[in-house]
Structure 1
Amino acid sequence: MSKPYVVGIDIGGTNTVFGIVDARGVVIASSSIKTLKHSDVNAYLDELYNEVTRLLVANDAVDKVHGIGIGAPNANYYTGMIEKLVNIPWPTPLPLAQMVSDKFGIPVAITNDANAAAIGEMTYGAARGLKDFIMITLGTGVGSGIVINGQLVYGHDGFAGELGHTIMKRNNGRLCGCGRTGCLEAYCSASGVARTAREFLEIRTEPSALRTIPIEAITSKDVYDAAVAGDKLANEIFEYTGNILGEAFAEFTVFSSPQAIILFGGLAKSGELLLRPLRESMEKNMYPAFKGKVQILLSELKDADAAVLGASALGWEAKAQVPAVPQA
């Protein structure tokens, strides 16, 4: 291979993590910058260019990069644009793929962070060899990437796969950050677990270790710690969350018949606290033809490398021209 490396860049609301990755999925070196150190996107790109170049020089990788892959919120693979940003004060729509390509003189491909995770899992992780699977990221929100017949599904406009915004509660559902009510994300993300804890504490009377924490300060990690210690209420919160997630997975299975649903993110590390009720609920609610056929797997990407690996896998697909939206 004439150019044996790719660069993966994961743009988050707080940090931008980047690294040099080889074809085996080994992160040769990585670093990060603060995304919001500069409110001006051009100043941000200047710092990103300087720090990535410094990393390439230090690892004798200058002129050895095949492409750059970027995972970013609301990024569109077809257009190379970031369509909307909630937590980053840059003007949108923003032609970020073209801007980064112009800056580095290297082909760039971009997609949203959950799609990048799916590509990373298919290239380096638990989905190697799978042609049909769904990647679910359980973090602050609920993200998803759908792979059918070995291809990531982008849809006609580049935005397919927003399964976190499947409506799970039609009546009196929680308000979601997207503006709708009852979305899966409002219940089964890390922030959703914390919301469930607050609701349970307000309407229930039994003792719980969670009552020692100011109610607005409770996090999903607090709920996990209490559940591991045997707290009954905390365990019921995970039961409630797993039930809803299982119902959602049964619905997802109907339309794409995946071999597996792969979980990634902080909440996925809750182990059987979440997985047991999830599996039971999924099978209970599954359309009969699919019962017992869908595996629930955990990501095999290392925590420290996962964001970089997911983005970098897209770098192998990067072409000189940013992909255009297919014509109808």
Structure 2
Amino acid sequence: MKPYVLGIDIGGTNTVFGIVDARGVVIASSSIKTLKHADVKDYIDELYENVMRLLEANDAVEKIHGIGIGAPNANYYTGMIEKLVNIPWPTPLPFAQMVSEKFGIPVAITNDANAAAIGEMTYGAARGMKNFIMITLGTGVGSGIVINGQLVYGHDGFAGELGHTIMKRNNGRLCGCGRTGCLEAYCSATGVARTAREFLEVRNEPSALRNIPVESITSKDVYDAAVNGDRLAAEIFEYTGNILGEAFADFTVFSSPEAIILFGGLAKSGDLLMRPLKESMEKNMMNMFKGKVKVLLSELKEADAAVLGASALGWEAKPLPGQA
């Protein structure tokens, strides 16, 4: 067997890829912008050029056993990307087949958050756990659910879309999925920015955020302001944490996880997010689960969780007809 696999994590903003060995060591990694090309074929061409450059630099061109991909709404069973919310490519898209034909290497694909869960279970904070939920807080809110040591795919490959559970039944925000009131519309990085714009519009107190053009505000702007003592920015995190905590209390009821593990840029907000989240979770928790569920941060740095999880699929990827 060839000694390496390639792990590719396709996010709404960046695509990160890495060469991984059988021990789960990321030999080398790089990235490209996901949204640079509206045409998915142009995106795959750029991905190929950059991956080949990385492989050549690490003497690995002929040493890749398979490719594992984590992508939004990717179906492990069919290799298709069925629908995209934050990326403007037409769907359904036979993505695994397209990448396999371009590289001439077997490809397996799964949901990006599922890939992160696999990586966390194998190499990170969920090592040894058989029941946990992975929550990715990025451009959207993704999730991977592990029950009895197995990732939950459901009958059609799409189980575990916890980011699209409804948190606001009346007058909820429109989500990219087409529904209103989804968790993702409030607790993703873009959701935090939307909260900031709403707060600034309806409230009068001073804030450093008022010095930024309202449509340009990002979750990092809110974080920076909160760290510097901005009261309004801190309340935005309080609002976000309260909603996440309510959601986590509900998630606990159906799978009784040992832990809920947070991954992504927003998860690094420290006590600004974690304090209201934990307080809200325990306040809303069914009595039999109170105090039983840990909320942990990913132990894998940056994109390693998704890259490692995706790469694990590469060992099991099956060749297309005609591939060696």
CA distance in structure 1 between the aligned counterparts of 2:260 and 2:277, rounded to whole angstroms: 12
2:206 maps to 207
CA distance in structure 2 between the aligned counterparts of 1:40 and 1:207, rounded to whole angstroms: 44
1:240 maps to 239
Tell me by how many angstroms 1:311 deviates. Answer: 2.1
Tell me by how many angstroms 1:113 deviates. Answer: 1.2
What TM-score comes out, normalization by structure 2 length?
0.91
2:94 maps to 95
Q: Does 1:108 align with 2:107?
A: yes
Q: CA deviation digits over 1:106-134, x for unaligned, max 9? A: 32110121111111111221111111111
Q: Does 1:175 align with 2:174?
A: yes
Alignment of 1:1-328 (within 5 A): 2-36=1-35, 38-303=37-302, 305-320=304-319
- Match of 1:303, SS state, is coil
Q: CA 1:246 to 1:58, structure 2 compared with 1: closer, same or farther past 3 Å?
A: same
- Match of 2:260, SS state, is strand
- Match of 2:205, SS state, is coil
Tell me by how many angstroms 1:299 deviates. Answer: 0.8
Tell me by how many angstroms 1:211 deviates. Answer: 2.1
Q: CA 1:50 to 1:228, structure 2 compared with 1: closer, same or farther past 3 Å?
A: closer
Tell me by how many angstroms 1:319 deviates. Answer: 3.1
CA distance in structure 1 between the aligned counterparts of 2:45 and 2:236, rounded to whole angstroms: 45
Q: CA 1:182 to 1:258, structure 2 compared with 1: closer, same or farther past 3 Å?
A: same
Structure 1: unaligned runs, 5 residues or longer: 323-328
Q: CA 1:87 to 1:255, structure 2 compared with 1: closer, same or farther past 3 Å?
A: closer
| CA RMSD, Structure 1 to Structure 2 (Å) | 2.1
More displaced stretch, 41-50 vs 245-254: 41-50
Q: CA 1:105 to 1:214, structure 2 compared with 1: closer, same or farther past 3 Å?
A: closer
More displaced stretch, 164-173 vs 49-58: 49-58
Q: CA 1:301 to 1:200, structure 2 compared with 1: closer, same or farther past 3 Å?
A: same
CA distance in structure 2 between the aligned counterparts of 1:145 and 1:163, rounded to whole angstroms: 8
CA distance in structure 2 between the aligned counterparts of 1:84 and 1:264, rounded to whole angstroms: 23
CA distance in structure 1 between the aligned counterparts of 2:186 and 2:92, rounded to whole angstroms: 29
1:326 maps to none
CA distance in structure 1 between the aligned counterparts of 2:35 and 2:118, rounded to whole angstroms: 26
**Percent of matched pairs sharing the same residue:** 88
CA distance in structure 2 between the aligned counterparts of 1:84 and 1:62, rounded to whole angstroms: 32
CA distance in structure 1 between the aligned counterparts of 2:218 and 2:36, rounded to whole angstroms: 26
Tell me by how many angstroms 1:257 deviates. Answer: 0.6
Q: CA 1:87 to 1:297, structure 2 compared with 1: closer, same or farther past 3 Å?
A: closer
CA distance in structure 2 between the aligned counterparts of 1:212 and 1:42, rounded to whole angstroms: 40
CA distance in structure 2 between the aligned counterparts of 1:50 and 1:43, rounded to whole angstroms: 11
Tell me by how many angstroms 1:200 deviates. Answer: 1.7
Tell me by how many angstroms 1:158 deviates. Answer: 1.0
Q: Is the 8 A contact 2:85 2:177 kept in 1?
A: no
1:93 maps to amino acid: P
Structure 2: unaligned runs, 5 residues or longer: none
1:72 maps to amino acid: A
Q: Is the 8 A contact 1:242 1:274 kept in 2?
A: yes
Tell me by how many angstroms 1:3 deviates. Answer: 2.5
Q: Is the 8 A contact 1:169 1:182 kept in 2?
A: yes
What TM-score comes out, normalization by structure 1 length?
0.90
Q: CA deviation digits over 1:251-291, x for unaligned, max 9? A: 00000111110001111010011001111111111111111
1:252 maps to amino acid: F
- Equivalenced residue count is 321
1:152 maps to amino acid: L
Q: Is the 8 A contact 1:123 1:313 kept in 2?
A: no
